[in-house]
């Protein structure tokens, strides 16, 4: 019997409503069914989270952190279950889920469970009014709608839910209908850790239905969205009707700049990791290689060598290196963009042969190196979200920066050089929220994550990511003995 993965609302599994078939991208098999959550069930989830706020407010900050640490221990004890769910849903290799995504998420929970720098209030002085006192409170937003994409569902759930809980909010999380399994498991374990029922409700469904129901609900005070820039604009437009606070983590077309003094072997590995991890299906994937002409031939040959040695197979096999594409619609988009690139004059330097090496009915695209990519090409400008590296060359530092910034996006970038002064100078001129220097894709829970330009608004992770889930309130304590108030009042009031 095929398994139904119901919503998790008010501490209970809820299977009311229509079902959506989930396809395992690894081999095309049916992974089970999740819910297509209707408006009534969405409203039920929102009301449940709204009712939980009073209970959450009675749990102080230190106690909330203790619950988060307990949650981390629970997930760690079930890490194999989480890893299998993550790879089953997404098609990413089981090795990535087991050794990167799930352990990283656990460590991020522990960061929020131990961070000491977040304060729920601070005192200020009023320089205009000596003797008075002010307190700035960081008040929870209330009930937050978190809408997550399909590419890294576990980490996205952690990044949205955990800092929101820490700040004292409740959350209704809508994972992608393609990949809801780890989010549903997380909600159950949040309950098991001791958070009140309704603190985190998880409802699956499509963006055009369930997502819109959440955004339109007037009881939602904030929306945290991760997805495409196109959809982010629609979310922003809909949220504006009720003046909801929003954070948007959107698309990217991130550059990796490799200078001629870089460590060739290390930078080759870093560039390959930057684009082919999760088959390029990461918002900050380094999909543009901006390569010094002086080392072009040597660098490209080295990349081809390592790429040809990547193991193709079923992603659920621990020996496999190459992830599947999570859904067929995305596979079609990759094919269309590649076709446009070839038609506009780009050339395929190397494409990994996957024939007879991957499951027949799975969704796969061969890791590809695309040369002669020019800034006016569609494939240079549009986010491909797939395992295709577009290569452009440069001669001077200024030219490299100009090419890197020649995009509407600004999520991330990488710089590879043996000269750290050059690295700092160049990095400081890159218009992106994260710039890695001689590394790529390494994420710290202590560092804010987000984009410039069309890559988003607001930040996730770090102290900045916690404070996004708060609003400020100023308490002004007057000083009757100072005489300042009496002087001000006399502008209107005479004895």
First to last CA, the chain: 85
Residues 6+ away with beta carbon under 8 Å from 185:
78, 81, 82, 85
- How confident is the prediction along the chain (495 residues), in pLDDT tens digits per residue? 679 999 999 999 999 889 999 999 999 999 999 999 999 999 999 999 999 999 999 999 999 999 999 999 999 999 999 999 999 999 999 999 999 999 999 999 999 999 999 999 999 999 989 989 999 999 999 999 999 999 999 999 999 999 999 999 999 999 999 999 999 999 999 999 999 999 999 999 999 999 999 999 999 999 999 999 999 999 999 999 999 999 999 999 999 999 999 999 999 999 999 999 999 999 999 999 999 999 999 999 999 999 999 999 999 999 999 999 999 999 999 999 999 999 999 999 999 999 999 999 999 999 999 999 999 999 999 999 999 999 999 999 999 999 999 999 999 999 999 999 999 999 999 999 999 999 999 999 999 999 999 999 999 999 999 999 999 999 999 988 887 788 888 889 987
| Residue 429 backbone class (left: φ over 0; alpha: ψ -120 to 50; beta: rest) | alpha
What are the distances in angstroms from CA 242 to CA 195, 207, 246? Answer: 29, 19, 11
CB 171 within 8 A of CB 165: yes
| Residue 18 backbone class (left: φ over 0; alpha: ψ -120 to 50; beta: rest) | beta
Query: Coil, strand or helix: which one is 372?
Result: coil
CB 181 within 8 A of CB 139: no
* Helical ranges in 281-396 per DSSP H: 296-308, 328-343, 378-381
User: Could you give the CA distance from residue 413 to residue 452 in angstroms, rounded to a whole number?
Assistant: 11
**From the CB of residue 335, how many other CB atoms can be counted at a distance below 10 Å?**
12
- Pair of tokens at residue 211: 């997502």
| DSSP code, position 433 | S
What are the distances in angstroms from CA 447 to CA 108, 389, 439, 460, 463? Answer: 11, 27, 15, 8, 8
CB 160 within 8 A of CB 214: no
Residues 6+ away with beta carbon under 8 Å from 451:
249, 250, 252, 409, 410, 411, 412, 432, 433
Q: What are the structural domains of the chain?
A: 4-249+461-475 (3.40.605.10), 255-437 (3.40.309.10)
Res 1: pLDDT:
60
| Residue 453 backbone class (left: φ over 0; alpha: ψ -120 to 50; beta: rest) | left
Angle between helices 102-114 and 61-77 (to 10 degrees): 160
* Catalytic annotation, residues: 249, 283
Q: Please give the torsion angle defined by the CA atoms of residues 113, 183, 456 and 328, in that order, rounded to the nearest 10 degrees.
A: 150
Residues 6+ away with beta carbon under 8 Å from 34:
4, 5, 6, 19, 20, 22, 177, 180, 181, 184, 204
Res 489: pLDDT:
86
User: Could you give the CA distance from residue 85 to residue 79 in angstroms, rounded to a whole number?
Assistant: 10
What are the distances in angstroms from CA 52 to CA 180, 299, 385? Answer: 23, 56, 38
Phi, psi of 330 (to 5 degrees): -70, -35
User: Could you give the CA distance from residue 98 to residue 79 in angstroms, rounded to a whole number?
Assistant: 7
């Amino acid at each position: 019997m095929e398994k139904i993965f119901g919503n998790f609302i008010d501490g209970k599994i809820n299977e009311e409503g229509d079902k959506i078939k989930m396809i395992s991208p690894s081999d095309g098999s049916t992974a089970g069914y999740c819910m297509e959550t209707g408006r009534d069930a969405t409203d039920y989830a929102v009301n449940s989270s709204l009712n939980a706020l009073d209970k959450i407010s009675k749990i102080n900050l230190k106690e909330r952190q203790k619950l988060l640490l307990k949650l981390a221990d629970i997930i760690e004890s079930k890490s194999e279950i989480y890893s299998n769910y993550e790879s089953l849903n997404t098609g990413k290799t089981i090795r990535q889920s087991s050794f990167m995504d799930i352990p990283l998420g656990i460590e991020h929970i522990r960061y929020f469970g131990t961070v000491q720098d977040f304060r729920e209030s601070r005192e200020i002085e009023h320089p205009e009014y000596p003797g008075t006192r002010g307190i700035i409170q960081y008040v929870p937003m209330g009930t937050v709608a978190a809408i997550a994409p399909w590419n890294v569902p576990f980490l996205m759930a952690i990044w949205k839910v955990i800092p929101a809980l820490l700040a004292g909010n409740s959350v209704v999380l809508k994972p992608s209908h393609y990949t809801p399994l780890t989010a549903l498991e997380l909600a159950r374990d949040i309950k098991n850790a001791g958070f009140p029922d309704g603190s985190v409700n998880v409802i699956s469904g499509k963006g055009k239905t369930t997502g819109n129901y959440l955004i339109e609900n007037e009881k939602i005070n904030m929306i945290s969205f991760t997805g495409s820039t196109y959809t982010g604009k629609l979310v922003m437009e809909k949220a504006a009707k009720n003046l909801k606070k929003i954070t948007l983590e959107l698309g990217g077309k991130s550059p990796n700049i490799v200078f001629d003094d870089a460590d060739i072997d290390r930078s080759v590995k870093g560039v390959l990791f930057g684009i082919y991890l999760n088959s390029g299906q990461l918002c900050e994937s380094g999909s543009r290689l901006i390569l010094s002409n002086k080392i072009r031939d040597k660098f490209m040959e080295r990349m081809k060598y390592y790429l040809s040695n990547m193991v193709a197979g079923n992603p659920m096999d621990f020996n496999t290196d190459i992830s599947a594409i999570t859904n067929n619609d995305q596979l079609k988009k990759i094919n269309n963009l590649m076709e446009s690139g070839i038609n506009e004059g780009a050339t395929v330097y190397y494409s990994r042969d996957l024939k007879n090496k991957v499951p027949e009915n799975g969704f796969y695209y061969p890791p590809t190196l695309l040369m002669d990519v020019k800034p006016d090409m569609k494939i240079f400008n549009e986010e491909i979200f797939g395992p295709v590296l577009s290569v452009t060359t440069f001669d001077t530092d200024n030219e490299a920066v100009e090419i890197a910034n020649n995009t509407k996006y600004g999520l991330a970038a990488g710089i590879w050089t043996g000269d750290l002064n050059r690295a700092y100078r160049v990095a400081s001129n890159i218009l992106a929220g994260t710039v890695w220097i001689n590394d790529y894709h390494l994420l710290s829970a202590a560092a804010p994550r987000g984009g410039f330009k069309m890559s988003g608004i607001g930040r996730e992770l770090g102290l900045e990511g916690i404070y996004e889930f708060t609003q400020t309130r100023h308490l002004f304590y007057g000083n009757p003995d100072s005489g300042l108030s009496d002087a001000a009042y006399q502008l209107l009031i005479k004895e």
